[in-house]
Amino acid sequence: LRTISFDPETASVELVDQTLLPAEFRVLKIKTIDDLCEAIASLRVRGAPALGAAGGFGVALATLLSGETDIGKFKPDIARDAEKVASTRPTAVNLRWGVERVLTAMDTAGNVEEARQLALHEAQEIADDDVRRCRAIGENGASLLRDGDTVLTHCNAGRMACVDWGTALGVVRSAVESGKRIKVISCETRPLNQGSRITCWEMGDDGIPVTLISDSMSGMVMRRGMVDCVVVGADRITGDAVFNKIGTYSHAVLAKHHDIPFYVAAPLSTFDFELLEKDIIIEERDADELRKCGEKLLAPADVRVYNPAFDATPMELVTAVITEAGVHRVPLDMDELARLA
Amino acid sequence: LRTISFDPETASVELVDQTLLPAEFRVLKIKTIDDLCEAIASLRVRGAPALGAAGGFGVALATLLSGETDIGKFKPDIARDAEKVASTRPTAVNLRWGVERVLTAMDTAGNVEEARQLALHEAQEIADDDVRRCRAIGENGASLLRDGDTVLTHCNAGRMACVDWGTALGVVRSAVESGKRIKVISCETRPLNQGSRITCWEMGDDGIPVTLISDSMSGMVMRRGMVDCVVVGADRITGDAVFNKIGTYSHAVLAKHHDIPFYVAAPLSTFDFELLEKDIIIEERDADELRKCGEKLLAPADVRVYNPAFDATPMELVTAVITEAGVHRVPLDMDELARLA
């Protein structure tokens, strides 16, 4: 199972509609650029690595849909569709990165058929590369888990955020694959419940024992000795902090208080070698995410809400960062990591 | 406004239906024992002190409803209704306490009219006493807050959990009443959202500035310097720990990490001078509280869930306990507190 893939036979992008999880598992077969843009905008596909692949496959799809036979007219045609896909979620850096990587690969094409071949190949390569990197993260991280361990995780850094395998959940999967019995405690991850909706679904689907808790219970389960380590993903890693889904910082402080290792699993592409925590503005999301659940009112309709999407965990609370290149103990050697990236 | 009161003119228990908040503010006029039992069972009225008053008013209501004129037949009649009320929520200690306190007060009555007078007076006294104690807690705690402070709180330890004023929110109200400008950060309090539904509504109703956050954000707002102190209520206080709504412990660890005072506001009746943390079994609630929101599925329908109702915060994380008798710094003098109680 891949979260997103491309079928050249039917000229369709196939993706798991994550908005339907956990109630329904449905694979969409997307055959137009408009439908792909709708799927991206509606978060039917989400997660930085998965969006990189979506961008790449979007350009590949465009090359199959275009009826142009003149390469001089074909390329601007594809560029228009590519821009449409890339601009669907302007802040999703990986989406545009995937689009541009495939456009660049087509640059040398002398004719339409060659352009199609190059686009398909490059898009497929983005997806395959992501799977390889997640597999390597998983194997590197698995060495940190012992048979019988319980891993607490937050949000969804799993298959559904990537093309396959996942980062934090990739570590769990690789450990299980190597024969270790691992249990997962999944924090529901308010306000959008990616933990309860997606991580619990993924683990159940793989037959890995998972227990759902509210985010506020992480302290209690740690104090009761129910957690051997914390493994989370990351949206961005600077030299001084890990940016990840809101709530990660609280878990990190609690892990430190209970002497529990706190691991971050993420590909090297997550590292930001330019900026520091202070330079990064954390996006605030819609107040209604906390005021409502569907149409049900959970709070006064006009109550003031603070709803940051992410928080920053200072590096001194992190035990190690797990990448495709290895397990990097903190303090990190950012120069070395920059060379590896 | 009182959360619960009794109108002898119309022989009705009047209570705010908390299940409708925040969408609707409705005062129920309850005229039968069956309706009162339904309101208690459905959590239309909740919170230990409010349930004590509900039990007392229930017996008072029974005395007005009974058509018996013979005191020998009247008393068993009332006792049957009283037992019906008390057994509606068997684990709510205060409910039975309120019922029995009023039954005992009627004991000396020589005739039905006298019994009614004694019951009404005693039930009213339970309610009035609760308000006086909350007011005293509020005034004692207010001395700890400075003009301009922001108080982080969890769950609802407010008017709606008591007859009026509240414990943790009583501290905020008394500080505001004394002229201090106080802001509140209310954690939504998963899974039942008493923070977002009730605390935010109460503060909005009083015109006290309140900001709603998810429980997982408390670490981030503390780290950003947005919190001057934490004030929470308590369900039970032993010599070594404070039992309160699940999530309280995580906030306490985070407050300690950020050098933020952590206060517990509760009446002396909350103290348990017999047991210690290890002796107390924490009730686990229904898994569907985390799996669903109304009919909406937030997690796989069969996922394993850990859903403790409360957690225990070891006393060394608590700065002080605020009661109607004063501000008691930790370490507590339990012998002295037992004398005061």
* Coil, helix or strand at residue A197: helix
Are B141 and B174 in contact, with CB atoms under 8 Å apart? yes
Q: Is any Cβ of chain B less than 8 angstroms from the Cβ of A191?
A: yes
Q: Is any Cβ of chain B less than 8 angstroms from the Cβ of A224?
A: no
**Which two tokens mark B176?**
């505001």
- Exposed, middle or buried by CB within 10 Å (0-12, 13-18, 19+), for A14? middle
Strand partners for A231: A263
Nearest CA in chain B to A222: B250
Q: Is any Cβ of chain B less than 8 angstroms from the Cβ of A290?
A: yes
User: Would you call the peptide bond into B209 cis, given omega within 30 degrees of 0 as the criterion?
Assistant: no
Q: Is any Cβ of chain A less than 8 angstroms from the Cβ of B197?
A: yes
Residue A303: its chain B contacts at CB < 8 A?
22, 196, 200, 204, 210-212
Buried b (16+ CB within 10 A) or exposed e, A129-150: bbbebbbbbbbbbbebbeeebb
Helix axis angle for A33-41 and A48-65, nearest 10°, is 170
Interface test with B, best of A298, A315, A316, A317 (most B CBs within 10 A): A298
Amino acid at B6: F
Are B184 and B153 in contact, with CB atoms under 8 Å apart? yes
Question: What is the Cα Rg of chain B in Å?
Answer: 20
**Which two tokens mark B218?**
């408390």
Q: A211: Cβ–Cβ under 8 A, 6 or more apart, which residues?
A: A183, A184, A185, A186, B303, B304, B305, B306
Residue B187: its chain A contacts at CB < 8 A?
216
Q: A114: Cβ–Cβ under 8 A, 6 or more apart, which residues?
A: none
Strand partners for B28: B15
Q: In this model, does residue B91 exceed pLDDT 80?
A: no
Per-window interface: B 232-261 vs A, CB < 8 A: 246-247, 249-254, 256-257
How many angstroms separate the Cα of B17 from the Cα of each of A171, A269, B36, B46, B61? 48, 53, 11, 10, 18
Tell me which DSSP letter residue B318 carries. Answer: -
* Coil, helix or strand at residue A59: helix
pLDDT tens for each residue of chain A, 341 residues long: 799 999 999 999 999 999 999 999 999 999 999 999 999 999 899 988 999 999 999 999 999 999 999 999 999 999 999 999 999 987 778 899 999 999 999 999 999 999 999 999 999 999 999 999 999 999 999 999 999 999 999 999 999 999 999 999 999 999 999 999 999 999 999 999 999 999 999 999 999 999 999 999 999 999 999 999 999 999 899 999 999 999 999 999 999 999 999 999 999 999 999 999 999 999 899 999 999 998 899 999 999 999 999 999 999 999 999 999 999 999 999 999 999 98
**Which two tokens mark A319?**
């035990």
Are B131 and B2 in contact, with CB atoms under 8 Å apart? yes
Q: Do B221 and A306 touch (CB under 8 A)?
A: yes
Strand stretches in B36-88, DSSP E: none
Nearest to B299 among A197, A293, A300 (CB): A197
- The mean pLDDT of chain A is 96
Nearest to A254 among B185, B253, B300 (CB): B253
Strand partners for B2: none
**pTM (2 d.p.):** 0.94
Distance from CA of A32 to the nearest CA of B (A): 30
Average pLDDT over residues B145-155: 98
Q: In this model, does residue B48 exceed pLDDT 90?
A: no
Distance from CA of A129 to the nearest CA of B (A): 31
Interface test with B, best of A21, A220, A248, A259 (most B CBs within 10 A): A220
Q: Is any Cβ of chain A less than 8 angstroms from the Cβ of B117?
A: no
How many angstroms separate the Cα of A80 from the Cα of each of A58, A87, A94, A98, A232? 12, 11, 18, 15, 37
Residue A217: its chain B contacts at CB < 8 A?
246-247, 250, 306, 308, 311
**Whole-angstrom Cα distance, residue B51 to residue B161?**
8
Helix axis angle for A48-65 and A112-142, nearest 10°, is 160
Distance from CA of A335 to the nearest CA of B (A): 28
CA B51 to chain centre: 8
Distance from CA of B18 to the nearest CA of A (A): 13
The DSSP-derived string for A279-307 is G-PPPB--THHHHEETTEESS-TT-EE--
Paired sense of beta strands A183-187 and A236-237, if any: unpaired
The yes/no answer to whether this complex scores an ipTM above 0.90 is: yes
Nearest CA in chain A to B196: A299
Let me know how long chain B is.
Answer: 341
- Chains A and B form CB pairs within 8 A to the count of 191
Q: Do A299 and B221 touch (CB under 8 A)?
A: no
Q: Is any Cβ of chain B less than 8 angstroms from the Cβ of A183?
A: no
- Catalytic residue, chosen from A205, A235, A240, A333, is A235
Strand partners for A212: A186, B305
Query: pLDDT tens, B176-223?
Result: 999 999 999 999 999 999 999 999 999 999 999 999 999 999 999 999
Helix axis angle for A71-86 and A48-65, nearest 10°, is 150
Q: Is any Cβ of chain B less than 8 angstroms from the Cβ of A69?
A: no
Q: Do B308 and A191 touch (CB under 8 A)?
A: no
- At residue B10, the pLDDT reads 96
Task: List phi, psi (to 5°) of A338.
Answer: -65, -35
Residue A307: its chain B contacts at CB < 8 A?
213-214
Q: What angle do CA B251, B254, B255 make, to 5 degrees?
A: 85
* Coil, helix or strand at residue B294: coil
- At residue B1, the pLDDT reads 78
Residue A23: its chain B contacts at CB < 8 A?
297
How many angstroms separate the Cα of A159 from the Cα of each of A26, A36, A73, A130, A205? 15, 20, 38, 11, 11
Q: In this model, does residue B93 exceed pLDDT 90?
A: no
Q: Does residue B35 have an active-site annotation? A: no
Type and span of the H or E element at B131:
helix B112-142
Are A225 and A231 in contact, with CB atoms under 8 Å apart? no
Query: pLDDT tens, A28-83?
Result: 999 999 999 999 999 899 988 999 999 999 999 999 999 999 999 999 999 999 99
Per-window interface: B 123-182 vs A, CB < 8 A: 154
